[in-house]
Amino acid sequence: MGNFFQTVHPLFRKVVRVEQYELRGLLWSFSYFFSLLCAYYIVRPMRDEMGILGGVENLQWLFLGTFLAMLAMVPLFGWVASRFQRKEFLPYIYIFFIANLIVFYLLFHFGFSHTYIARAFFIWVSVFNLFVVSVFWSFMTDIFTDTQAKRLFGFIAAGGTCGAIFGPLLTASIAIPMGAENLLLVSAAFLAWALLCINKLTKWQRENLKNEKNGFVEETATNANERPLGGSVWGGIKLLIKSPYLIGISLLMLLFTTLATFLYFQQAQIVRDSFTDSTQRLAVFAVIDLAVNTLTIVTQIFLTGRLIKWIGLPWTLALVPIMLGVGFLGLGFFPTLGVLVVVQIVRRAGNYAIMRPAREMLYVVLGREEKYKAKNFIDTVVYRGGDAVSAWIYAGFRSLGLSLSAIAFIAVPLAGIWAGLAYKLGKKQGEFATKPWTKNDQSTE
């Protein structure tokens, strides 16, 4: 196997600045994220169409339900992370979601098609997506250093984009012969592959730590990585409240979700008004997904890592909100389907290819409890809480008679605030990264 990595390493160096000893970890990480997003994109089209069929005017209730479900998950995750080793609790999370998929499969297979089950599925998919991806990036920030993250996270994120492309293609090719409910089992199979990837990456990290020159220190680090995190089930909230840095990341997330929700609601309204047929709407969503994922993977492979090197993390973090501010300005003047599609493609591709990898780098300089507990709280509860609140704010704007253009203009200064905060957090991350202690001991004060 060593000869294989030695042979292919020069090929990978042409695309990503990876060292030979990092290549195995990079490829397993790529495969891990591929399997996660492939599993999600197999079930995502069902969620979006259920949202529209349930009534655009009722979307805020589904967003609220998702937030409440996320809130219920936090103490459960905190309890598991506090009492079990990382190599144990990470698989437990994916086994839990695999079991959920099997339950939904049985419900659909035996003809349980009540409206409440459909709504539950919408909420579950929204929880599933955020939770498994959050845990994935927590793991990535735990096994890679700050310098590695800046070089490799863009390529690793491309694994997810490949999964996001392959998932819909697989769905389109096998949905009719297999039946829609059987796709849930296919999704579960991809989650099972993620379990293997976790095992391989844990072994890779352990081997790399033991091979370092300072054997005693690195062996201690290995043991620390395997210990349960300890603390309380609500430890993530306590860490967040005490840390201005984590509060800043939370505000960043709230601004991100607010503008993303505004755009999602505008998309639902414009697409609904443009097409009366459900099949046509699905085709539009598919075209947007294809364009987003194609643009994303090209950017992730060839640009993301280089962009951080060229302009630095602060400006990389600020880039997407600046572009979105321009996009909302365009929607304010021209609230049409064509402009919406362009803005949505740029926003989503920019988030997946640039903003998301850069945002995850903010956590690399923190300790393990912050990476798992505080990060998971921000990525799930804060994220979906922002969704729920902004959904009701948007509904309030509409009830007051504000047009799509007026709401788009309101979003422009919010994008500016988001960009300024993102830039400041990028600067703060650089300060943490240059401090002389190891990342597992760093304070967030």
The model's pLDDT over 370-421, given as tens digits with 9 standing for 90+, comes to 887 788 888 878 887 888 889 889 989 999 999 999 999 999 999 999 999 9
Q: What are the CB-based long-range contacts (under 8 Å, 24+) for 283-288?
A: 284/341, 285/45, 285/48, 285/49, 286/45, 286/168, 287/341, 288/341, 288/344, 288/345, 288/348
Q: What are the two backbone dihedrals, phi and then psi, of residue 53, each rounded to the nearest 5 degrees? A: -65, -30
pTM of the model: 0.71
Q: Over the stretch 181-196, which tens digit does the pLDDT of each residue have?
A: 788 899 999 999 999 9
Q: What is the mean pLDDT of residues 309-319?
A: 93
Separation between Cα atoms, residue 361 and residue 355, nearest integer Å: 10
Separation between Cα atoms, residue 129 and residue 285, nearest integer Å: 18
Q: What is the mean pLDDT of residues 92-112?
A: 87
The structure tokens listed for 383 are 């994220």
How high is the pLDDT of residue 392? 87
More confident residue, 117 or 41: 41
Q: What is the mean pLDDT of residues 199-205?
A: 90
Q: Over the stretch 219-249, which tens digit does the pLDDT of each residue have?
A: 434 444 555 554 444 567 888 888 999 999 9
- Please tell me whether residue 214 adopts helix, strand or coil conformation: coil
More confident residue, 73 or 352: 352
198 confidence band (pLDDT: 50, 70, 90): very high
DSSP string over 177-207: HH-GGGHHHHHHHHHHHHHHHHHHHHHHHHH
Helix (H) / strand (E) containing 23: helix 23-53
C-beta neighbour count of 270 within 10 angstroms: 21
Placement of tokens 């769905």 in the chain = 171
Question: Which of 33-47, 78-92, 122-136 shows the lowest per-residue confidence on average (mean pLDDT)?
Answer: 78-92
Q: What is the mean pLDDT of residues 357-371?
A: 87
Question: What average pLDDT does the structure give for the chain?
Answer: 82
Question: Which of 239-248, 272-281, 335-344 shows the lowest per-residue confidence on average (mean pLDDT)?
Answer: 272-281
| Residues contacting 111, CB < 8 A, separation 6+ | none
More confident residue, 136 or 113: 136
More confident residue, 2 or 155: 155
How high is the pLDDT of residue 100? 93
How high is the pLDDT of residue 234? 59
Q: What is the mean pLDDT of residues 265-284?
A: 80
The structure tokens listed for 214 are 């300072």
350 touches 323 (CB < 8 A)? yes
Q: How far is CA 26 from CA 30, 63, 357, 368, in A?
A: 6, 35, 14, 20
Separation between Cα atoms, residue 159 and residue 297, nearest integer Å: 8
Q: What is the mean pLDDT of residues 355-360?
A: 90
Separation between Cα atoms, residue 122 and residue 136, nearest integer Å: 22
More confident residue, 249 or 271: 249
Separation between Cα atoms, residue 297 and residue 29, nearest integer Å: 16
Q: What whole-number percentage of the chain has pLDDT above 70?
A: 85
- Name all domains of the chain by residue range, CATH numbers in brackets: 16-441 (1.20.1250.20)
Separation between Cα atoms, residue 28 and residue 421, nearest integer Å: 33
pLDDT at 441 over 60: no
Separation between Cα atoms, residue 301 and residue 154, nearest integer Å: 7
Separation between Cα atoms, residue 30 and residue 2, nearest integer Å: 19
